[in-house]
Structure 1
């Protein structure tokens, strides 16, 4: 049994400032020399970039369905062994989804810190806090933090509306960077967004400056002034799992090349960890900038933003030829979402213009102005089921053979429903984002490793 202070940072809805508060809290304690581990509830690729920068430690996802309870328990226990503080950022609203962030908090007895955008409210803040705390009996509770508060007087009004004064964790004022409000910079947000979510931390020159500004603002709140001794009020017992399942070495002796750059950056840290546990040697390369693939047995092209880099993709004819030679040699290539998009002949962008892509898969993709698909999905490959999710703003039209389709959790596969799994020669491609630890056997099939019946 390992005991460690832990908080699950949640909100009544998306857009309240969960990521900012989580990253600011991680940065604040990391600057003070404490070891902080941050997790993200649900299948999110972008928020973890900020949490990694803030904490300096790997960030993994926690989802009771996608990971499974045992995997979540193992990751939390391992983090507790090496940490002074564990932070878990929730997903959407506290009770949204099934399983929800509240389900995760209850399952592991992690207290919930609610972040509420209070910029346009006063007394209603107290009603929201009361509802979040009492809506589901038995929810572990830490308190509530008011975000985007306009003034000290505004903060007093918010605090006075609480039925329990102990719920008050403070007011986070509008954050400024230097002498200019951050709302006036980079898309009018401290952590700017675009169509798939937050802009990743590595894409901004002043990312750490932004986090430090947020941490400085948080340091003025009761939450930010808590010492390590104070944090013990939220200590949680994280028992070691009764047993662990060894990851089979199905990729032993094989080298897997993983695309990683601004256009291909949707990578679960746990997926890379899983490949290494399977015995693979992992090598990273840039599909945008490298002229050739590294010497490898298999390629994984992850998702990202190929639609923002179509000119660079089309111009990198060296990488196009290298990928084509890799496939011609019968070597496996697994491409998911954005990685798959780059393999098609062309893309029609949101403004109606068309651009060429690498042309390893027949067909084209078309960007949509609205979300085309979102939600948890599972995919059966060679008799083994991978869990994961789908989240994309484009649609595909291809003559490549469809060898399987995804299904929602606990539902059967339906014809012409779910995400297609295309297979063209040694290429497997889909909009589906896979959580590799859910089925190393399926991953081995996609990447040409050994197979287990």
Structure 2
């Protein structure tokens, strides 16, 4: 069975600096000549983009509900066979949610390094560290790293408050050279963060003299049985929009399409590129079309190409931001309304508060497709939903799925490896 040094980067809450620390640690070990594979807990899109930049490798999602324990096991064993270090970034606080970060760390025996912001705190830091370490007996605590440490004296007080059986891994100072900016859906995308590579490099340098920089002990990862995938998309050419407006793409989804036999090509509506020649099906993923609405509305080449594709009855799958792009119009938070492609009857308005958040699943005759929703817009349409996803927490109706001509659109972001058969049907246009 493959074994590899591995560490789970958890925290006491959101906003403690997990992504900053994970990215800095990944780069630090790369600088030391190691191959690093990084994973992100939960259905996040933004953190993995930054972690991929730091590790120079795709960042896969791990989630016991959405991805499933067996697929998580397979991904970890695959990484362990080729990497020198595995890092897993948690989500929210260590014990937040069901399933949560602690559940994932416990399931695979990965030790936890907890990041705790020490801002406006002294000896109470030790009480929080103690609570994280002792809350569950099945969690193996590697140690605790303090973030936002103001001075050497501050670090001394933090250490003095620590229980003797919990390792002090060190501390990071508050610094504008380290901090990563945020907005309503989380962190900014890598291309939007000023001097991102320098921020990650500065974090790596700051971590170099801490105990967190030491290579952790190897963890044995039991391989999951290999899954044989039928070539359900053999010889199909699938175009995927990918740019700053459409960037919420799971690497595992693209990998599945290729495993099913599809030829995947990317294009940019924001750069006014046409669909690749010979496109059989189109995927418009989520992202931030509202931030680029004017540019998208003015890009006639992409618009004409997508409308021609739809007019020919070729399949289009659109999720969240990709769905907004297909609507008649989109109104941003400033009240500015911009015409969109007009391929899906309806209008969307960006709101100042979260409209939907949580895991959902779509139950169909081809089985269950797991996914999640996370959006700040609301949509009005006269279209009758072809189906509804169901919320994971209580089974209540979740996001509607619309079918209009060759278009299938929804706010739900699907994790396609959870149902390869349904995924193939979506791109063949036969799912609904």
TM-score by length of 1: 0.92
Deviation at 1:450, TM superposition (A): 8.1
- Retained in 2: the 8 A contact 1:42–1:63? yes
Residues in 2 aligned to 1:300 and 1:424: alpha-carbon distance in whole angstroms: 15
Residues in 1 aligned to 2:288 and 2:113: alpha-carbon distance in whole angstroms: 32
Residues in 2 aligned to 1:164 and 1:339: alpha-carbon distance in whole angstroms: 52
1:220 corresponding residue in structure 2? 209
1:73-119, CA deviations, whole angstroms, 9 ceiling, x for partnerless residues?
00000000111110000001100111100000111010011000001
Deviation at 1:126, TM superposition (A): 0.3
Deviation at 1:249, TM superposition (A): 1.4
1:110 corresponding residue in structure 2? 110
2:34 corresponding residue in structure 1? 34
1:289 aligns with 2:278: no
1:378 corresponding residue in structure 2? 361
1:195 corresponding residue in structure 2? 184
Residues in 2 aligned to 1:307 and 1:10: alpha-carbon distance in whole angstroms: 32
1:445 corresponding residue in structure 2? 425
Deviation at 1:427, TM superposition (A): 0.1
Within a 5 Å distance, the mapping from 1:258-269 to structure 2 comes to 258-269=240-251
- Retained in 2: the 8 A contact 1:172–1:221? no
1:360-382, CA deviations, whole angstroms, 9 ceiling, x for partnerless residues?
11110011100000000001344
Deviation at 1:255, TM superposition (A): 0.5
* SS of equivalent to 2:159: helix
1:434 aligns with 2:414: yes
Deviation at 1:202, TM superposition (A): 2.6
Residues in 2 aligned to 1:450 and 1:366: alpha-carbon distance in whole angstroms: 30
Point out where structure 1 has 5 or more consecutive residues left out of the alignment: 176-180, 183-188
* SS of equivalent to 1:43: coil
Residues in 2 aligned to 1:425 and 1:323: alpha-carbon distance in whole angstroms: 14
Residues in 1 aligned to 2:149 and 2:419: alpha-carbon distance in whole angstroms: 45
Deviation at 1:291, TM superposition (A): 3.7
1:278 aligns with 2:278: no
1:209 corresponding residue in structure 2? 198
Q: How many equivalent residue pairs?
A: 430
Residues in 1 aligned to 2:166 and 2:74: alpha-carbon distance in whole angstroms: 32
- Retained in 2: the 8 A contact 1:251–1:450? no
Residues in 2 aligned to 1:385 and 1:410: alpha-carbon distance in whole angstroms: 15
Within a 5 Å distance, the mapping from 1:139-150 to structure 2 comes to 139-150=139-150
Deviation at 1:246, TM superposition (A): 1.3
* SS of equivalent to 1:377: strand
Deviation at 1:136, TM superposition (A): 1.1
1:347 to 321, 325, 330: 330
Point out where structure 2 has 5 or more consecutive residues left out of the alignment: none
Higher alpha-carbon deviation: 348-357 or 147-156: 348-357
Deviation at 1:166, TM superposition (A): 4.5
- Retained in 2: the 8 A contact 1:122–1:157? yes
Residues in 1 aligned to 2:428 and 2:110: alpha-carbon distance in whole angstroms: 40
1:178 corresponding residue in structure 2? none
Residues in 2 aligned to 1:68 and 1:447: alpha-carbon distance in whole angstroms: 23
Residues in 1 aligned to 2:100 and 2:273: alpha-carbon distance in whole angstroms: 43
Deviation at 1:354, TM superposition (A): 1.3
2:341 corresponding residue in structure 1? 358
* SS of equivalent to 2:253: helix
- Retained in 1: the 8 A contact 2:272–2:300? no
Within a 5 Å distance, the mapping from 1:241-252 to structure 2 comes to 241=224, 243-252=225-234
* SS of equivalent to 1:252: coil
1:119 aligns with 2:119: yes
Deviation at 1:248, TM superposition (A): 2.2
1:230-251, CA deviations, whole angstroms, 9 ceiling, x for partnerless residues?
x22xx2110122x222122111
2:238 corresponding residue in structure 1? 256
- Retained in 2: the 8 A contact 1:10–1:114? yes
2:17 corresponding residue in structure 1? 17
1:186 corresponding residue in structure 2? none
TM-score by length of 2: 0.97
Residues in 1 aligned to 2:211 and 2:139: alpha-carbon distance in whole angstroms: 22
* SS of equivalent to 1:6: strand
Deviation at 1:135, TM superposition (A): 0.6
1:222-279, CA deviations, whole angstroms, 9 ceiling, x for partnerless residues?
222x2x4xx22xx2110122x2221221111101000000000000011100110111
1:315 aligns with 2:298: yes
